[in-house]
Amino acid sequence: MTKLLLRALAGETLPVPPIWMMRQAGRYLPEYRATRAEAGDFLSLCYNPELAAEVTLQPIRRFRFDAAILFADILLVPQALGADLWFVTGEGPRLSTITDGAEVAKLKAPDAIHDTLAPIYETVRRLSRDLPPETALIGFAGAPWTVATYMIAGRGTPDQAPAHALMRDDPEAFAALMERIEAATVEYLSRQVEAGAECVKLFDSWAGSLSGEAFERWSLAPMKRITAALKDRHAGLPVIAFPRGAGTAYEGAHAATGADCIALDDGVTPDWAAKHVQTGGCVQGNLASSHMVTGGAALVREVRRIREAFSGGPHVFNLGHGITPDADPDNVALMIDTLRETVDA
């Protein structure tokens, strides 16, 4: 039988939607913290296929999600292209910066990334072998705009101002960087699929800092080209696109990205999204991550509300963003139990 996630992504309306959770392998789980300590640091964990597969499998063992998502990081692609990458404890990632066309030109060719990323593909192969037969495997990458914001600023920023500045002041260098990231992303995701990923997701986490023509040109259009290239290489491959923060611009996003499913943040209501986005195809989301911390009756009510709002079409239940380190695993279990309860309970 086809896996529930793949059925939903193909457009099937299911009595109970499949469920997985962004960042479901992470710091809220004690077993993850133990494995990360064994690895020594975050990048060592990402590049160790045995341990990366282990942390990917941990939430599947504990919660029986319908899908696992590869444990990796969106900044591995910049590193594979030649950027320096390191993590500062308590502060997050740091990258060497790209500030002009000459620095873009020094980056590796998109098809030269695979030696660096070979351990990631091995992790996918291990997961394809070791996951339960009913559990789908999701590969992923950052979308070009979001990856570019980190490469230009060298770190996460509140408003992605450095990337906006380069876009404005040196549009040729900015476009060249975006093109390089886009081509590398196709290569990276294609290899994940060859290794066993059954669908892929593009995370454009900072799409909401773009608007109007810039949003269409630098968020939606690159995702559409990546999706088309992947589907050309891998016929029937399901793709999930997440232009986080898009607001009312989520409407029409299926056509604008070519994706089979649009992931929604919690900035839009399920009722609005069912009327304006789900008409285009499968949607994913969109429980507020804060419910994983607070739990209780409010969590139960919101899970039921989201399930009901999207019950008329294909839906993958998920959070509106990643689970936070202060979440209570018991609340994750409550979310899943509530979603899977009989509708007339």
Q: Provide the whole-model pTM.
A: 0.97
Percent of the chain with pLDDT over 70: 99
Architecture of domain 4-340: Alpha-Beta Barrel (3.20)
**Residue 48: φ, ψ to 5°:** -105, 100
pLDDT at 108: 98
Structure tokens at 61: 């063992």
Residue 158 in contact with residue 26, Cβ under 8 Å? Answer: no
Q: 256: closest CA among 231, 275, 228?
A: 228
pLDDT at 89: 81
Q: Is the pLDDT of residue 196 over 90?
A: yes
Whole-angstrom distance, CA of residue 340 vs CA of residue 237: 27
Beta bridge partners of 241: 202, 262
Positions annotated as catalytic residues are 23, 27, 36, 73, 150
Mean per-residue pLDDT over the chain, rounded: 97
Question: Given its phi and psi angles, is residue 191 left (phi above 0), alpha (psi -120 to 50 degrees) or beta?
Answer: alpha
Contacts of 303 by beta carbon, 8 Å cutoff, 6+ apart: 287, 291, 317, 335, 338, 339
Q: How many CB atoms lie within 10 A of CB 120?
A: 25
Beta bridge partners of 19: 317
pLDDT band at 345 (very low <50, low <70, confident <90, very high): very low
Instruction: State how far Cα 312 lies from the chain centre.
Output: 25
pLDDT band at 92 (very low <50, low <70, confident <90, very high): confident
pLDDT at 342: 66
Query: What Cα–Cα distance (Å) separates residue 225 from each residue in 81, 92, 143, 207?
Result: 20, 30, 11, 16
pLDDT at 91: 85
- Which amino acid is it at 135? T
> Rg for the chain (alpha carbons), in Å?
19
Q: Is the pLDDT of residue 154 over 90?
A: yes
Whole-angstrom distance, CA of residue 229 vs CA of residue 147: 19
Question: Which pairing describes strands 92-95 and 85-88: parallel, antiparallel, or unpaired?
Answer: antiparallel
What's the pLDDT tens digit per position in 315-343?
Answer: 999 999 999 999 999 999 999 999 999 64
What's the pLDDT tens digit per position in 255-289?
Answer: 999 999 999 999 999 999 999 999 999 999 999 99
Write the DSSP assignment of 283-336 as a string of letters.
EEEEE-TTHHHH-HHHHHHHHHHHHHHTTTS-EEEEESSPPPTT--HHHHHHHH
pLDDT at 344: 42
Write the DSSP assignment of 232-296 as a string of letters.
HHSTT--EEEEETT-GGGGTTHHHHH--SEEE--TTS-HHHHHHHTGGGSEEEEEE-TTHHHH-H
Q: Is the pLDDT of residue 233 over 50?
A: yes
Percent of the chain with pLDDT over 90: 97
Average pLDDT of the residues in 182-208: 98
Return the domain boundaries, the chain.
4-340
Instruction: State how far Cα 125 lies from the chain centre.
Output: 19
Average pLDDT of the residues in 224-237: 98
**Residue 266: φ, ψ to 5°:** -90, 15
What's the pLDDT tens digit per position in 99-146?
Answer: 999 999 999 999 999 999 999 999 999 999 999 999 999 999 999 999
Question: Given its phi and psi angles, is residue 92 left (phi above 0), alpha (psi -120 to 50 degrees) or beta?
Answer: left
